[in-house]
């Protein structure tokens, strides 16, 4: 017997802009009650039993409740709005995009050009990826993280995003809880919910440098907790956990039999003495309950090539490969050849980008902290600043009351031509995310405009 589905974005509209119940919470866990597993994701809209069954028809639920509850990626939405304004001739500075502003290094492009001309690369590859790429990823992982894995533990995916999706789809049963330190990358809760899991926000603040503590995680743990999502360096905050913190949290996960999905996509973008430590290296015994997610997008300025991977225990990788074989099959063969050149080459290109990002990071954090009502802790990784704008909420700006960071972000785009992503997208209203992966001159122009506008708030 099927209950009556709600039209459209049932979960999302019931509980807030993202379909999560984040609101303005104090630090601590937040169980997302809208995140029902597949089996219970239907809402009968007040009707039950045969009445609901009788009125159910194909025309009342064009989009399934499961897919209808997915929110638009706010980061891509901001970027699209900024690009549309630019295309219309407006002078917009975009801090929304999460991608390096550098071209892919020439040696990587040359490898792809050669592959295009070679009929060997015009065919399907094994669904899990070219064997030589898997071997190169295993070698790179040992070189960069000190983590020894076999090629059989690697699955090549369509970007890190597919790796995240497949990791949760492979690990979660309906109702399994996933601890998500917030602010979090906007895709995680959606991927968890699609897999039938329940995202549990563990909210961190600027005062703690957005670094979650083992005490916060322990307070959020229940007998349903299956996975901890771990992302350091973090998108959106730029926070980097210290080696000690990584070890303490890894040991806690081991002790409680909790899986860790460790997203290491920003591993090479750390600044000012910060160090990235891979969790299964800090706690080697954790390897059997850990899935590492990574990709070429951020390290080699290859966001458009769509190559990522996951690394995990052989049974998990085998199951995730089965899933991928029925979903997307192999990643573009030509992109896989480009990725071989990337991961087997040296790290000089990322070293150059890191120097530029570090300079821009320092400029941005200094300028943001000069704006009245804006507080920004220093980020030590990735390419984002995550300032609090909470002190501006409730004030007025150009005749409008500032009700939320989402509203303020719209005002900033309309009045100052500056695109930022509001904290609502990352599970923490009251903040902005600004990417500093853009030219120095644009960066200064954009933050200056922000300062001029926000200084008018009364």
Ligand X SMILES: Cc1ncc(COP(=O)(O)O)c(C=O)c1O
Q: Is 240 in the site for ligand X (CB under 6 A)?
A: no
Q: Is 190 in the site for ligand X (CB under 6 A)?
A: no
* For ligand X, the closer CB: 5 or 238: 238
Query: In the chain, how many H helices and how many E strands?
Result: 16, 15
Say which residue the tokens 């807030």 belong to.
16
Residues paired with 28 in a beta bridge: 203
- Residues numbered 254 to 293 that lie near ligand X (CB under 6 A) are 263, 265
**Rounded Cα–Cα distance for residues 158 and 328 (Å):** 8
Q: Does residue 245 contact residue 211 with C-beta atoms inside 8 Å?
A: yes
- The closest residue (CB) to ligand X is 159
User: What character string, x for contact with ligand X (CB under 6 A) and - otherwise, covers 303-342?
Assistant: x----x----------------------------------
Q: Count CB-CB contacts under 10 A for residue 50.
A: 9
Please report how close the Cβ of residue 141 comes to ligand X at its closest, in angstroms.
16
Work out which of 155, 171, 229, 297 binds ligand X, going by CB under 6 A: 297
* For ligand X, the closer CB: 238 or 417: 238
Half-sphere exposure of 193 (CA within 13 A, CB side): 28
Q: Does residue 412 contact residue 448 with C-beta atoms inside 8 Å?
A: no
Q: Does residue 249 contact residue 241 with C-beta atoms inside 8 Å?
A: yes
Which uninterrupted H or E stretch holds 360? helix 348-369
- Residues numbered 140 to 159 that lie near ligand X (CB under 6 A) are 159
* For ligand X, the closer CB: 185 or 436: 185
Please report how close the Cβ of residue 277 comes to ligand X at its closest, in angstroms.
17
DSSP letter at 271 equals -
Please report how close the Cβ of residue 157 comes to ligand X at its closest, in angstroms.
8
* For ligand X, the closer CB: 42 or 185: 185
Q: Is 160 in the site for ligand X (CB under 6 A)?
A: yes
* For ligand X, the closer CB: 4 or 20: 20
Which uninterrupted H or E stretch holds 171? helix 159-171
Please report how close the Cβ of residue 357 comes to ligand X at its closest, in angstroms.
14
Say which residue the tokens 């064997």 belong to.
131
* For ligand X, the closer CB: 321 or 335: 335
Residues paired with 311 in a beta bridge: 154, 292
**# binding residues, ligand X (CB under 6 A):** 13
Residues at the site binding ligand X, with contacts judged by CB under 6 A: 98, 159-161, 185, 231, 235, 263, 265, 295, 297, 303, 308
């Amino acid at each position: 017997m099927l209950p009556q589905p709600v039209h459209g974005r049932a979960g999302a509209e019931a509980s807030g802009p993202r379909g999560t119940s984040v609101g303005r919470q104090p630090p601590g866990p937040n169980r997302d009650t809208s995140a029902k597993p597949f089996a219970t994701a239907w809402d009968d809209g007040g009707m039950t039993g045969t009445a609901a069954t009788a009125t159910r028809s194909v025309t009342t639920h064009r989009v399934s409740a499961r897919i209808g509850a997915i929110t638009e990626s706010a980061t891509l939405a901001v970027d699209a709005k900024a690009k549309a304004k630019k295309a219309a001739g407006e002078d917009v500075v975009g801090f929304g995009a999460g991608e390096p502003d550098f071209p892919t290094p020439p040696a990587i492009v040359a490898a792809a050009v050669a592959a295009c001309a070679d009929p060997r690369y015009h065919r399907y590859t094994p669904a899990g990826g070219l064997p030589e790429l898997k071997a190169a990823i295993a070698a790179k992982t040992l070189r960069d993280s000190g983590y020894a894995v076999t090629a059989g533990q690697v699955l090549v995916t369509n970007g890190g995003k597919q790796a995240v999706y497949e990791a949760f789809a492979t690990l979660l049963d309906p109702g399994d809880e996933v601890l998500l330190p917030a602010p979090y990358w906007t895709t995680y809760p959606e991927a968890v919910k699609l897999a039938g899991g329940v995202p549990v926000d563990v909210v961190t603040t600027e005062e703690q440098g957005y670094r979650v503590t083992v005490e916060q995680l322990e307070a959020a743990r229940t007998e349903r907790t299956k996975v901890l999502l771990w992302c350091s360096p973090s998108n959106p905050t730029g926070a980097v956990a210290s080696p000690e913190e990584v070890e303490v949290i890894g040991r806690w996960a081991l002790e409680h039999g909790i899986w860790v999905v460790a997203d290491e996509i920003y591993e090479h973008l750390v600044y000012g003495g910060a160090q990235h430590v891979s969790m299964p290296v800090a706690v080697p015994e954790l390897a059997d309950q850990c899935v590492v997610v990574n990709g070429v997008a951020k390290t080699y300025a290859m966001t458009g090539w769509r190559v990522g991977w996951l690394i995990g225990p052989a049974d998990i990788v085998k199951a995730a490969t089965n899933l991928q074989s029925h979903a997307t099959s192999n990643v573009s063969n030509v992109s896989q050849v480009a990725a071989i050149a990337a991961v087997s080459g040296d790290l000089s290109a990322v070293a150059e980008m890191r120097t530029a990002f570090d300079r821009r990071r320092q400029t941005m954090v200094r300028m943001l902290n000069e704006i009245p009502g804006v507080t920004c802790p220093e980020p030590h990784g990735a390419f984002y600043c995550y300032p609090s704008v909470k002190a501006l909420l409730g004030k007025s700006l150009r005749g409008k009351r500032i009700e939320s960071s989402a509203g303020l972000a719209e005002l900033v785009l309309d009045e100052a031509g500056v695109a930022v992503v509001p904290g609502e997208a990352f599970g923490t209203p009251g903040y902005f995310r600004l990417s500093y992966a853009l030219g120095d001159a644009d960066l200064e122009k954009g933050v200056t405009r922000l300062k001029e506008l926000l200084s008018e708030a009364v």
